[in-house]
Amino acid sequence: MGLTENNSLTHLSSGNPCLDFFFQVVPDTSPDTVVSLLSSAWARDPLAALKLVCHLRGVRGTGKSDREGFYASALWLHSHHPKTLALNVPSLAHFGYIKDLLEILYRLIHGADARSAAKEERETTWRAARDLRRLRRRQKKNDKNGKQQKKDAASREDRIAAELSRATIASEKAAGERRSKRTDLAARSLERYSRDPEYRFLHDRIADFFAEQLASDAERLRAGKPFDVGLAAKWCPSLDSSFDRSTLLCESIARRMFPRTTPTTRSSRTSTTPTGSASGCGGTCSSRSGRCSTYPRST
């Protein structure tokens, strides 16, 4: 037994792990708690647990719209059942946003807490830039103020000049770190893609999904059906954008939409782009119906 927020008695568990996951995972639930509940639910009923993960992200009146809880669940799925996650990419996009697929890749490369760390870094940079602007305005104001005593003005100007120099150096250092970070992001993504077959399979499945959706939308446009066009173009990462620098997904999508026709390229793409049938996993996913299927873990 335990206590509710109103200090009333309640059962800590319903006895059904899937029901516990449904009721206990709410916004602001810690990732550790989400993973613990999902692990228990999956052990009880994998298909029901997968549907609950999709319900967790549902944004069109189909679920809780819990973004962080969904991402924690997706990372757990990739660690324990990577083919199930990869082969249900269309269903995940159906229940949530297509952008969620990019976010999953981003967090797999940079860590589950990458967003909070990036937010803290942005706030630090913003504060430094704000302080620099204030110092420059203060210096400009003091230059125009001829009523201050000369000694005091000189002392104040020295302090402002020192602070301005410090802020300028910090700003230049941050700019250099950002340039270095861009190179590091691409190298990290390429290294993960090269060494981790499970990440590579998910990356390729997401690239396939975008390429198929974009090609389908292009056909609808050519057929004069603009109102049937989906949202793949909206959420597809732009070239050299943050998501592209972090995942190198634009190149993967472009290679699928504009393939070379040489036998060598066809052979290379066949060997590096796994499919459901080639990997030994059966089952299909339907983004229109929202059906989900589970798949055995790769060995």
**Looking at residue 117, what is its pLDDT?**
55
Write the Ramachandran bin of 7: left for phi over 0, alpha for psi from -120 to 50, otherwise beta: left
* Nearest to 74, CA basis, from 59, 62, 91, 191: 91
Instruction: Report, as an integer, the average pLDDT of 210-224.
Output: 94
Question: What per-residue confidence (pLDDT) applies to 279?
Answer: 36
- Residue scoring higher pLDDT (85 or 243): 85
Binned at pLDDT 50, 70 and 90, residue 272 comes out as very low
pLDDT digits (tens, 9 = 90+) for 219-271: 999 999 999 999 999 999 888 888 888 888 999 999 999 988 745 445 444 44
Which carries the bigger pLDDT value, residue 278 or residue 153?
153
- Looking at per-residue confidence, does 286 or 116 come out higher? 116
pLDDT number for residue 4: 63
- Domain boundaries of the chain, sorted by first residue: 2-80, 115-192
